[in-house]
């Protein structure tokens, strides 16, 4: 029976370590997505302001940023799910020792007066929404009235506005589930 307990204990510890490692990997991937978004925005903006390049080019950027925001939100959701699972595991197995790290973090979060820096999704919202909005502004500023391009231009503006709203919803909903 003790051999089964040792195997169970070893598997339990390996699972815990693997989940903590996954959190770290997802944090890194989430940060990389922000970096890729900045690089993508800079690329689209530098191409989009070039003379001879259609102003419609820059209006395609918000769609790309939306999908990157979705990936960021997916990582954020998985991190939160793993944290919740680990908190339950810690509470169940460490109850005699006091709160585990995840429970301790929750206690601190509830006690602490929250500042802007405590809101994880705020920088992501600023980067994704801000760069989408900047693409829209640059596209509007560069638009040259051409009768055959007006329907395409208006369609892209409408899509970009919808995408910015969806980006905000994706990033807001990923954090709202925590509350």
Q: What is the pLDDT of residues 57-96, one digit of tens each?
A: 899 999 999 999 999 999 999 998 998 888 888 777 776 6
Q: 129: Cβ–Cβ under 8 A, 6 or more apart, which residues?
A: 164, 167, 168, 171
Average pLDDT over residues 22-50: 93
Residues 6+ positions from 125 with CB-CB distance below 8 Å = 167, 168, 171, 172
Name the pLDDT band for 179 (thresholds 50, 70, 90): very low
SS3 48: helix
The beta-strand segments (E) located in the chain are none
Calpha distance 1→132 (Å, rounded) = 60
Cα-Cα end-to-end distance for the chain = 42
pLDDT tens, residue by residue, 117-127:
556 678 888 99
Helix (H) or strand (E) holding 117: none
Percentage of residues of the chain with pLDDT beyond 90: 47
Tokens linked to 126: 């600023």
The two tokens of residue 160 are: 């970009």
For the chain, the domains span 2-176
Confidence of residue 101 (pLDDT cuts 50, 70, 90): low
Q: Cβ neighbours of residue 23 under 8 Å, at least 6 residues apart?
A: 79, 82, 83
Query: pLDDT-based confidence at 104, cuts 50/70/90?
Result: low
């Amino acid at each position: 029976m003790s051999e089964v307990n040792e195997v169970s204990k070893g598997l339990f510890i390996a699972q815990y370590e693997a989940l903590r490692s996954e959190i770290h990997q997802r944090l890194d991937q989430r940060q990389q997505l922000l970096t890729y978004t900045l690089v993508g925005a800079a690329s689209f903006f530098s191409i989009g302001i070039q003379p001879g390049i259609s102003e419609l080019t820059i209006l395609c950027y918000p769609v790309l940023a939306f999908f990157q925001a979705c990936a960021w939100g997916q990582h954020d959701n998985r991190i939160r799910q793993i944290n919740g699972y680990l908190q339950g595991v810690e509470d169940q197995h460490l109850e005699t020792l006091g709160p585990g790290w995840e429970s301790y973090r929750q206690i601190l979060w509830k006690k602490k007066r929250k500042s802007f820096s405590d809101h994880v999704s705020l920088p992501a919202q600023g980067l994704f929404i801000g760069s989408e909005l900047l693409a829209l502004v640059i596209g509007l500023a560069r638009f040259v009235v051409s009768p055959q391009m007006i329907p395409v231009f208006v369609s892209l503006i409408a899509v970009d506005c919808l995408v910015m709203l969806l980006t905000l919803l994706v990033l807001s909903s990923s954090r709202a589930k925590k509350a």
